[in-house]
Amino acid sequence: MKSFIADLAASGELAVVKRPVNPRHQLAAITKAVQKAGEQAVLFEAVEGSALPVVSNLYGSHERLCRLIGAGEKTFCERWIELTDACLAANSADLLEQAAPEVEAEFVSGKLSDLPAITYHERDAGPYFTSAIFLAKEPDSGVPNLSFHRAMYVDDNELRIRLGSTHDLARYQAKAESRDEPLEAALLLSCGPEIFMSACASLPYDASELNMAALIKGGKLAMRPCKTISLDVPASVDIVVEGRILPNVKRPEGPFGEFMGNYVEVGDNHVFEVTHVSYRKDAVFHGLLCGSPEDLRPLEAVTAARVYRHVSQQVPGVIDVCCRPNVMISIIKIKKAYEGHGKHAILAALGSHLDYNKVVIVVDEDVDIYNLDDVMWAYMVRGRADTRAMILNDIPGFYRDPQKDHWGRLCIDATMPWGREKEFARKRVPGEDEIDLAEWLSPTE
């Protein structure tokens, strides 16, 4: 984390708040203002109630995500699929190693109340750990898993967590609970980018996200043992909370402002019993504002990669996929090769991710799919509005949707009519891409 922050500072991608900040709402409000102003990360040097600084918006830039996974000239989708395939073929023995014994001396033991207690939204039940990455092992095979789950702070001994029903961790917990056993787990609260990005991966049940982290890092991942549970955690993680998810125990959790932009109301959710807290003496706490660009950009990027893989296997000419400005939309760029090509891409996309894909739009190769204005221009200008849009009624959507608010699909073929490329070609000004304004504009006094 520290080297990541230093790199951001060196490249002008870090804003710094030196004034003391209140962790109840004020920190989140400043973070939101920074995000509205641009894509900088923000470091809060003095957070009331804790000696630890807080950093936020580390992952709020798509370009930064591409850089972090080593995309180079490739799109995020192409590089992510490359990493995923390599992960499935990898052997943990070749990618993980034990950290040097002296690493333990870098850590001190503490308690949950040492950490910044950040309350983000107006109706949130209290402080939440929103960047929490849970590490646990499959009860039978021992394969480790990394996944994100919010954790509500209750006291130094207890967190309440919500396990998404489609996550591997929920399956681990259910298996342990069927044996009336707790599930040991560790919360990783201040990670380097290789850990954070690998936790975003959607891998098969028997695959390890730790292998993915090593591949993103480009070298072996050093691991250190926990103090009170039989787990090893990445030595690079600066804050680790050890504990157990209790069997057959649920207590009220929420409300909480979720990534969809609204509140999830109070529900009976799982109890995490804290057994140990450790952190590096110079740790920086990662606070993530749920539903903000930092929360959505990684989710959108890995979802786009999943859609890209599926559609490109079914349909030729797929160039890129974007799921911005919300993960519920998939915008697909194709090199159109025949009449109906766009509709074929739509059909393939609908089957690629049944939770999402509430809206699917297909565009030509000259459209910027990361700019919704450009995407809608293609729809409005390059053909009829009625015959190129389809509404599919009563199709189930997002899995956590008891009121059916996310049912239905909107599909738009925004590609230009086949055979009329000259008529619908975008106008150009010769030389516009070569202009460097610094050479032409006089500096202001």
User: Does 399 have pLDDT greater than 70?
Assistant: no
Element (H, E) at 186: strand 183-188
| Tens digits of residue pLDDT in 210-223 | 999 999 999 999 99
Give me the residue label for tokens 């993530």: 288
State the chain's mean pLDDT as an integer: 94
Give the span between the Cα atoms of 158 and 114, in whole angstroms.
14
| Tens digits of residue pLDDT in 64-111 | 999 999 999 999 999 999 999 999 998 888 999 999 999 999 999 999
- Please state the rounded mean pLDDT for residues 220-249: 97
Q: What percent of the chain has pLDDT over 90?
A: 85
Element (H, E) at 213: helix 209-217
DSSP state letters, 299-337: HHHHHHHHHHHHHHHHSTTEEEEE--S-TTEEEEEE---
Give the span between the Cα atoms of 235 and 420, in whole angstroms.
58
Give the residue range(s) of CATH 2.30.110.10 domains in the chain.
74-285
**Residue 152 forms beta bridges with which residues?**
128, 160
- Hey, what are 170's tokens? 């929920």
Give the residue range(s) of CATH 3.40.1670.10 domains in the chain.
315-424
CATH topology of domain 315-424: UbiD C-terminal domain-like (3.40.1670)
Using pLDDT thresholds of 50, 70 and 90, give the confidence band for residue 354.
Answer: confident
Task: Tell which residue, 171, 111, 108, has the closest CA to residue 139.
Answer: 171
Question: Within a 13 Å sphere around the CA of 230, how many CA atoms are in the beta-carbon half?
Answer: 7
Using pLDDT thresholds of 50, 70 and 90, give the confidence band for residue 259.
Answer: confident
Quick one: DSSP state of residue 163? Answer: -
Give the span between the Cα atoms of 208 and 341, in whole angstroms.
37
74-285 maps to which CATH number? 2.30.110.10
User: Which pLDDT score is estimated for 395?
Assistant: 83
Q: What percent of the chain has pLDDT over 70?
A: 99
| Tens digits of residue pLDDT in 181-202 | 999 999 999 999 999 999 999 8
- Hey, what are 13's tokens? 């991608």
User: Which pLDDT score is estimated for 444?
Assistant: 66
Give the span between the Cα atoms of 350 and 356, in whole angstroms.
9
Quick one: DSSP state of residue 80? Answer: H
Using pLDDT thresholds of 50, 70 and 90, give the confidence band for residue 388.
Answer: very high
For 113-132, give the secondary structure using H, E and C: HHCCCCECCCCCCCCEECCC
Cα-trace Rg, the chain: 23
User: Does 150 have pLDDT greater than 80?
Assistant: yes
Give the span between the Cα atoms of 215 and 69, in whole angstroms.
9
Give the span between the Cα atoms of 158 and 271, in whole angstroms.
7
- Hey, what are 307's tokens? 């859609």
DSSP state letters, 348-360: HHHTT-SSS-SEE
